[in-house]
């Protein structure tokens, strides 16, 4: 508990009393000296009434410590007087940046007798991220309100607002290398599976239902069986472009928020299918979530994306500085980026180094066109031509690109890619 003193009222009253006495002495007017007596009495009463030690205890209660964007959260703070004297107290709970007050009041005034409490309750909602409460501000004064002491009473608390998770179905990715465990991603190898892969000669132990009668009839004396493509789990790295230059400000949201939503949806789907997934947030810093499996990894990724922010750093201005060595060789990389004019070459370098690259690109041209309307029609046409030239260069190099208009659900955009 940290305290600071506010003696401005006492100083003003003392200055008034001193001025009256000085004026009375200078003019030999006893009436002015007599007028100085009430302020002096008030000052003495205030000094005697103020307790030397103020003992306050604060307790914070949250309806939930984890919520989705836009969800309401009830907050209550109880301040208790643990001292031995009655004190007037005005309390104020300071909201962290990013939380919006929608009901109630985070302030209160009470005359606290020893052992009594005062509670303030209110409702907030907030944007994606961690929101930390630290303390409650309390102003304790004498009964005249002349001598004040500002106290910060510790009342810690935190709220994690995670991005909304959009459920996706099976994703059509085909990394060049998979792991040994069974999963849902085509492994480019024959064996037990669902999708037809090829025909081979019959081997002892092959199921009879695999026999390909048509192929066997063409080669008397031999039996041939159908072979299916194995499905396994894979190493997948998700790269979120958090460079400020890639972001576009809209009427209500930024384009970066849609990129975060896409990263959350992809990570949730891929981890749920048993894959080993890592996350790299690339912007003002390199924020790396080491690859892993299961629910714990999903929680790590969600927490990292909840705190993702855009930023600038000269050393990270280009995608060419992405440390691809963090990802296993020949693994799948999913880049979520609106794409800047110079981003094509770094992406082609990733593919040349053996990575299978999928680009999820929220369309900044369509997003910004909705903001400016018809008055920017010519600029939109020029920007659209430049973007199509960039995407065409990636298509011709074998990079799979999802040109995503954010007004369309991500699942629908991915479904078009798989057709």
The reported pLDDT for the residue numbered 389 is: 93
Of 19-23, 35-39, 160-164, 373-377, where does the model show the most confidence? 160-164
Considering only 253-257, 296-300, 413-417, which range has the smallest mean pLDDT?
Answer: 413-417
The reported pLDDT for the residue numbered 201 is: 74
Examine the pLDDT at 221 and tell me if it is beyond 60: yes
The reported pLDDT for the residue numbered 379 is: 84
User: What is the percent of the chain with per-residue pLDDT over 90, rounded to a whole number?
Assistant: 27
Give the model's confidence band at 347: pLDDT under 50 very low, under 70 low, under 90 confident, else very high. Answer: very high
Give the model's confidence band at 159: pLDDT under 50 very low, under 70 low, under 90 confident, else very high. Answer: very high
Question: What value does the mean pLDDT take over residues 272-296?
Answer: 89
Question: What value does the mean pLDDT take over residues 389-404?
Answer: 91
User: How many Å from the N-terminal Cα to the C-terminal Cα in the chain?
Assistant: 63
More confident residue, 255 or 40: 255
The reported pLDDT for the residue numbered 195 is: 64
Q: Nearest to residue 410, comparing CAs of 374, 360, 341, 338?
A: 360
Examine the pLDDT at 229 and tell me if it is beyond 70: no
Fold classified for 56-161: Immunoglobulin-like (2.60.40)
Examine the pLDDT at 181 and tell me if it is beyond 60: no
**Which residues lie below 8 Å from residue 292, measured CB to CB, with a gap of 6+?**
276, 277, 278, 300
Q: Nearest to residue 152, comparing CAs of 94, 113, 223?
A: 94
User: 339 and 404 in contact (C-beta within 8 Å)?
Assistant: no
The reported pLDDT for the residue numbered 51 is: 58
The reported pLDDT for the residue numbered 30 is: 75
Write out pLDDT tens, residues 104-129. Answer: 999 888 888 888 999 999 999 988 88
The reported pLDDT for the residue numbered 166 is: 86
Give the model's confidence band at 294: pLDDT under 50 very low, under 70 low, under 90 confident, else very high. Answer: confident
Question: What value does the mean pLDDT take over residues 138-142?
Answer: 75
Examine the pLDDT at 235 and tell me if it is beyond 60: yes
The reported pLDDT for the residue numbered 223 is: 81
Q: At 386, list the tokens.
A: 């430049």
Q: Nearest to residue 401, comparing CAs of 353, 351, 330?
A: 351
**Which residues lie below 8 Å from residue 245, measured CB to CB, with a gap of 6+?**
312, 317, 340
Write out pLDDT tens, residues 56-72. Answer: 889 999 999 999 888 89
How high is the mean pLDDT of the chain?
82
User: 78 and 56 in contact (C-beta within 8 Å)?
Assistant: no
Give the burial string for 216-235 (b: 16+ CB within 10 Å, else e): beeeeeebbbbbbbbbbbbb
Examine the pLDDT at 178 and tell me if it is beyond 60: no
Give the model's confidence band at 338: pLDDT under 50 very low, under 70 low, under 90 confident, else very high. Answer: very high
Considering only 131-135, 181-185, 219-223, 390-394, which range has the smallest mean pLDDT?
Answer: 181-185
Write out pLDDT tens, residues 207-217. Answer: 777 777 777 77
Write out pLDDT tens, residues 241-279. Answer: 999 888 888 777 789 999 999 999 999 988 888 888 999
Domain 235-417: CATH architecture, name and number where available: 3-Layer(aba) Sandwich (3.40)
The reported pLDDT for the residue numbered 419 is: 54
Considering only 162-171, 262-271, 370-379, which range has the smallest mean pLDDT?
Answer: 370-379
User: 280 and 237 in contact (C-beta within 8 Å)?
Assistant: yes
User: What is the percent of the chain with per-residue pLDDT over 70, rounded to a whole number?
Assistant: 82
The reported pLDDT for the residue numbered 378 is: 84
Examine the pLDDT at 43 and tell me if it is beyond 70: no
């Amino acid at each position: 508990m940290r305290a600071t003193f506010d003696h401005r009222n006492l100083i003003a009253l003392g200055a008034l009393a001193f001025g009256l006495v000085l004026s009375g002495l200078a003019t030999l007017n006893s009436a002015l000296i007599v007028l100085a007596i009430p302020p002096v009495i008030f000052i003495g009463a205030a000094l005697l009434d103020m307790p030397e030690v103020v003992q306050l205890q604060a307790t914070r209660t949250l309806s939930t410590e984890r919520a989705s964007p836009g969800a309401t959260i009830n907050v209550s703070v109880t301040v208790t007087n643990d001292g031995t004297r009655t004190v007037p107290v005005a309390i104020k709970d300071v909201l962290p940046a990013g939380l919006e007050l929608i009901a109630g009041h985070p302030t209160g005034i009470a005359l606290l007798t020893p052992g009594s409490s005062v509670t303030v309750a209110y409702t907030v909602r907030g944007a994606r991220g961690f929101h930390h409460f630290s303390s409650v501000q309390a102003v304790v004064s004498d009964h005249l309100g002349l001598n004040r002491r500002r106290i910060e009473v510790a009342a810690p608390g935190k709220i994690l607002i995670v991005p909304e998770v959009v459920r996706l179905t099976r994703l059509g990715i085909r990394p060049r290398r998979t792991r040994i465990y069974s999963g849902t991603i085509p492994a480019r190898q024959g064996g037990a599976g669902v999708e037809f892969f090829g025909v081979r000669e019959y081997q002892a132990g092959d199921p009879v239902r695999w026999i390909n009668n048509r192929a066997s009839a063409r080669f008397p004396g031999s039996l041939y069986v159908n072979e299916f493509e194995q499905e396994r789990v894979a190493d997948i790295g998700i790269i979120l472009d958090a460079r400020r230059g890639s972001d576009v400000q809209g009427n209500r949201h930024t384009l970066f928020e849609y990129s975060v939503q896409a990263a959350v949806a992809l990570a949730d789907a891929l981890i749920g299918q048993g894959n080993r997934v890592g996350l790299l947030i690339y912007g003002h810093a390199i924020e790396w979530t080491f690859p892993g499996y299961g629910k714990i990894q999903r929680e790590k990724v969600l927490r990292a994306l909840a705190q993702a922010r855009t930023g600038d750093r000269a050393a990270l201005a280009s995608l060419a500085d992405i440390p691809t060595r963090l990802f296993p060789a020949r693994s799948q990389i999913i880049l979520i980026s609106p794409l800047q004019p110079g981003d094509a070459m770094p992406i082609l370098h990733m593919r040349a180094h053996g990575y299978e690259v999928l680009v999820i690109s929220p369309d900044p041209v369509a997003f910004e066109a909705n903001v400016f309307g018809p008055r920017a029609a010519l600029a939109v046409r020029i920007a659209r031509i430049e973007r199509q030239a960039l995407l065409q260069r990636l298509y011709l190099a074998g990079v799979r690109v999802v040109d995503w208009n954010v007004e369309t659900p991500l699942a629908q955009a991915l479904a078009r890619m798989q057709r």
